[in-house]
């Protein structure tokens, strides 16, 4: 499970999850809204410290958060941790 290291990181991840859960079919109808949501999500994740299986990771962008998810190439975690 991915968790924030500090309280501020936990709040940022909660808001990221909230914005990420907005249905994409709705957001794609409004291109400007889609861009604003993407910018907000990038700002929320940028600089967040994530605890994952006893290790801390510093997120530099949204992709680094997805890479840390347990569903992304799960075979490699036994070599990292």
User: Is the pTM here over 0.75, yes or no?
Assistant: yes
What was the pLDDT predicted at 2?
72
What was the pLDDT predicted at 42?
92
What was the pLDDT predicted at 57?
86
Domain assignment of residue 46, given as a range: 3-80
Please give the C-alpha separations between residue 28 and each of 3, 39, 69, in angstroms, as whole numbers: 29, 15, 25
Q: List per-block mean pLDDT (blocks of 10 residues) for the chain, which spans 81 residues.
A: 82 91 90 93 90 83 81 72 64
Q: How many domains does the chain have?
A: 1
What was the pLDDT predicted at 1?
64
């Amino acid at each position: 499970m991915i968790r924030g290291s500090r309280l501020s990181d936990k709040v940022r991840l909660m808001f990221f999850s909230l914005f990420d859960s907005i249905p994409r079919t709705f957001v794609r109808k409004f291109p400007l809204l889609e861009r604003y949501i993407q910018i907000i999500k990038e700002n929320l994740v940028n600089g967040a410290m994530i605890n994952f299986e006893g290790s801390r990771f510093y997120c530099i962008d949204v992709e680094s958060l997805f890479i840390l998810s347990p569903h992304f190439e799960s075979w490699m975690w036994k070599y990292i941790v």
